[in-house]
Amino acid sequence: MWYLVEDSPEPADTPAPRYWLGGTHSGGRIIGRKNVHIRIKAASVSRTHATVRVVPSSYYSLSENPVRQRTTSVVVEDSSAYGTYIKYPPGHPSNRTGEAAGHHRRLDKNSPTGVQEGALLAFGAPSSWWRLGWCEIVCFPSGLWARHQERLQEVMKDAGLEVVKDFSKAVTHFITGECKTSSMKFLFALVRGVHIVTPAWANSVQQTVKEACKEITEAQNNTAAVAASKLAPEALFVPPFHAADKSAFSDIIDSVFNPDTKNRRIGLFKSLVFAFSREDRRAKWAQVLEHLGASVILVRAIKGHPREEHTVIVTPDGSKRRRSTADSSPQSSDAAEKIASISEALLINAILSADYSLITKAMLQGHGASQSMSAVDAEAPVNDDEGVGLQLDTDSPEPHDAEATNGSLRNRDKRKTRSSLLAKNESSISHEQMQDDKSVNPVPVQNPNLDPDMKTNTAEQVDDPNERSFFKVAPVDSSAPPGGKNWRICS
């Protein structure tokens, strides 16, 4: 926002009122002695001396490290008898000729002349100077209805507020009607310390810009004049949280925007590493977490990371989901099993409350749980289908419950019996071996439920207590005599 301020010889710590110039739709500010926006009581100043207007433009700022392009610039049109003068301080980028301090030139009459930030203007005799200043306010509207968005655009153009379409580091004010933790734009604005306000704040700025010149002129002293030009504090226009967020974070909602909470949020996750199983989720959280000092990686990159012990896995619900072989290797899976896992809700809670201990507690609990699970896995039996029985821990003390001990031993004996039966079944003669050795005459299986006259028979399971084998009865050979026992056995 552009403004003019009197460059008086008073001490630097004495504030001066700002005459806001408005935006491209404001019509500009008239400077003179009577019936004007900015009144200057001097004999060399005409009644309507000059007009200062804000016009659409696009040029880089004159700072040492230009970040973005401004969309407006200022022109001055002189219409007086004694003229309007301009000069730039030594070292200013516009002072291309290196003119000495105090050198000034007169602007052409009735010809709009572009002036830049930091320029010094004198209206009439060049005895008192006015400095052209710029207040960096860049707004990003989000989550508004279309009609509210159009209305807000008109208000901003009239007040002189800069509006951008993409949320970047240049944004100073995030304008929304409701705070939603599901919006990554809101979280990014929160962690960057950007002012989060409602559209009513822009209306307040518009009102201040319109009435500042008149109220400054009518002020009785400098303190009242400075107060008349101040913009309304953003703390009065904080938007409410969404109903779902109010119920989920009811105990910390009131302290989210406190100054102490904002200060604690700076570098909150420094030295931490957050891992995500999918690239889209990693990219979604990258800007927010990196601004808080954390590193963001994929789960597959955990193993061998320099800060592996400071890593935590983030999932939507806090559980470690099984990943496909395309997403992780066995080594990365083993490393991930030793890492604590937290939910996105817990991560949002830590960001809102600026509480680092929520993450550290989850990490300690997760590491303890992973160690416990490792101990259980070491003692747990392998799947019985693989023929491996129960593995007992010889170092552990004997249980005091004799009945429980006998039950465990009985279960072990049953598993050993099943394992021996499976091993015996594996040693049976295969179908290929029977085809190679013609001398083998298998013992026919007699099933009382089979009808010898049937040409085909479905698969039948023979469940013998001493022999656990599964056989499939093949179709009957038509060349064999009826009622014969010429059955072929296929494994």
pLDDT tens sequence across 148-179: 999 999 999 999 999 988 888 889 999 999 99
Strand segments, DSSP code E, in 184-238 are 195-197
Q: Are residues 270 and 375 in the same domain?
A: yes
Looking at the structure of the chain, the number of domains it has is 4
Reply yes or no on whether the pLDDT at 432 is more than 60.
no
Residues in contact with 312: Cβ distance below 8 Å, sequence separation at least 6, in sequence order: 272, 273, 274, 275, 339, 340, 341, 342, 359, 362, 363, 366
- SS3 call for 297: strand
Determine whether 372 is exposed, middle or buried from the number of CB atoms within 10 Å of its CB (0-12, 13-18, 19+).
Answer: exposed
Q: Which of 165, 199, 202 is nearest to 185 (CA)?
A: 165
Do 1 and 99 belong to one domain? yes
- Residues 321 and 397 both lie in one domain: no
Same domain, 362 and 420: no
CATH number at residue 315: 3.40.50
Phi/psi at 73 (5° precision): -145, 175
In the predicted model, is pLDDT for residue 354 greater than 60? yes
Share of the chain above pLDDT 90, in %: 50
Final residue of a structural domain among 342, 362, 379: 379
End-to-end CA distance of the chain: 87
Kindly list the distances between the CA atom of residue 482 and the CA atoms of 444, 485, 486, 487, in Å, as whole numbers in the listed order: 15, 9, 10, 12
- Residue whose C-alpha is closest to residue 299's, from 261, 341, 331, 328: 328
User: 3-state class of 435 per DSSP?
Assistant: helix
3-class SS string, 61-89: CCCCCCCCEEEEEEEEEECCCCCEEEECC
Residue 487 has pLDDT above 90, yes or no: no
Same domain, 121 and 6: yes
* Among candidate residues 113, 135, 157, the one where a domain is terminated: 135
The region of weakest confidence among 84-93, 333-342, 384-393 is 384-393
> What is the C-alpha to C-alpha distance for residues 139 and 172, in angstroms, rounded to an integer?
6
Q: Are residues 4 and 106 in the same domain?
A: yes
Per-residue model confidence (pLDDT) at position 103 = 74
Decide if 36 is inside a domain.
Answer: yes
Q: Are residues 361 and 308 both part of a single domain?
A: yes
Condensed to tens digits (0 to 9), the pLDDT of residues 204-242 reads 999 999 999 999 999 989 999 999 999 999 999 999 999
User: In the 8-state DSSP scheme, what is residue 5?
Assistant: E
Domain assignment present for residue 208? The answer is no
Nearest to 46 by CA among 146, 122, 124, 157: 124
pLDDT, position 180: 95
Q: What is the pLDDT of residues 24-37, one digit of tens each?
A: 988 899 999 988 99
Q: For residue 389, what pLDDT is reported?
A: 34
What are the angstrom distances between the C-alpha of 440 and each of 75, 226, 429, 474, 491? Answer: 109, 111, 10, 17, 15
Q: Choose among 212, 214, 188: nearest CA to 135.
A: 212
What is the predicted pLDDT for the residue at 76? Answer: 95
61 in a structural domain: yes
- % pLDDT > 70, the chain: 65
Q: How far apart are CA 145 and CA 417, in angstroms?
A: 72
* pLDDT bracket for residue 120 (50, 70, 90): very high
Whether residue 78 sits in one domain with residue 41: yes
Look up tokens 């083998």; give the residue. Answer: 440
* Confidence label for 125 from pLDDT (cuts 50, 70 and 90): confident
Rounded distance, CA 322 to CA 327, Å? 10
Rounded to whole angstroms, how far apart are CA atoms 191 and 297?
19
> 187-196, 298-307, 346-355: lowest mean pLDDT where?
298-307
Distance CA 394, CA 415 (A): 19
Lowest-confidence segment of 75-79, 185-189, 466-470, 479-483 by average pLDDT: 466-470
pLDDT band at 198 (very low <50, low <70, confident <90, very high): very high
Task: Give domain status of residue 311, yes or no.
Answer: yes
pLDDT averaged over every residue in the chain: 77
Write the DSSP symbol of residue 258: -
Look at residues 89, 116, 135 and tell me which one is the last residue of a structural domain.
135
Q: Tell me which residue of 274, 264, 295, 297 sits closest to 191, measured CA to CA.
A: 264
Q: Are 20 and 3 in contact (CB under 8 A)?
A: yes
Domain limits for position 397:
381-427
Read off the CATH number of the domain in which 44 is found.
2.60.200.20
SS3 341: strand
Q: Assess whether 18 and 110 both reside in one domain.
A: yes
Q: What is the pLDDT of residue 455?
A: 44
Q: Does 319 reside within a domain?
A: yes
pTM: 0.70
Element (H, E) at 152: helix 146-159
Within a 10 A sphere around the Cβ of 379, how many other Cβ atoms? 11
Say yes or no: 17 and 74 in one domain.
yes
Q: Which two tokens stand for residue 16?
A: 């001066």
Q: Cα separation of 51 and 68, whole Å? A: 28
Q: Residue 384's pLDDT is what?
A: 38
- CA atoms within a 13 Å half-sphere pointing along the CA-CB vector of 459: 7
Say if 46 falls within a structural domain.
Answer: yes
Q: Indicate whether 123 belongs to any domain.
A: yes
CB neighbours (10 Å) of residue 491?
Answer: 14
C-alpha pair distances (Å), 219 with each of 6, 31, 212, 214, 228:
15, 18, 10, 9, 8
Q: Does 128 lie in the same domain as 11?
A: yes
Query: What pLDDT, on a 0 to 100 scale, did the predictor assign at position 377?
Result: 42
The answer to the question of residue 227 being in a domain is: no
Q: Is the separation of the CB atoms in 123 and 104 below 8 Å?
A: no
pLDDT at 476 over 50: no
Please tell me whether residues 433 and 486 are part of one structural domain: yes
Please give the C-alpha separations between residue 260 and each of 187, 189, 264, 294, in angstroms, as whole numbers: 18, 17, 6, 21
